[in-house]
Amino acid sequence: MNAVIQGEWLKDIVAQTKEALRVFGSYTFWDKQPYEVMDIGKIANELKMITPTEAGSLLQALWKYKDPELNEGELREVANCIMCELDSQPKSWWDSCCEAAPDVG
């Protein structure tokens, strides 16, 4: 995945996170987790279509992403939830994804 595509995906996930916080608020975001206020399954399904290394790199970049409107815990929680959705992938896929995203999960 080239840097431009990764950047677009990151921007999209960050925008979805901001929208979820705007619509549902911080309390619900944390109480119900991103699973209930975002379409985490859809994001995970999109990541299943790329290589596990690319998916892991994207999640690692999301984990480290800095946005002045969000605290790092919110994006880290989103990255963790997406990673959890990916654990149904074959073991070799999952292992490669985890290697590319050592901080996530």
Reported pTM: 0.92
Residue 83: domain span: 3-100
- Flag whether 76 is in a domain: yes
- Flag whether 81 is in a domain: yes
- Flag whether 89 is in a domain: yes
The full length of the chain comes to: 105
- Flag whether 105 is in a domain: no
CB 60 within 8 A of CB 101: yes
Sequential pLDDT tens for the chain (105 residues): 667 677 899 999 999 999 999 999 999 999 999 999 999 999 999 999 999 999 999 999 999 999 999 988 999 999 999 999 999 999 999 999 999 999 997
Sequence-ordered list of residues with C-beta below 8 angstroms from that of 93, at least 6 positions apart, any chain: 52
Number of domains in the chain: 1
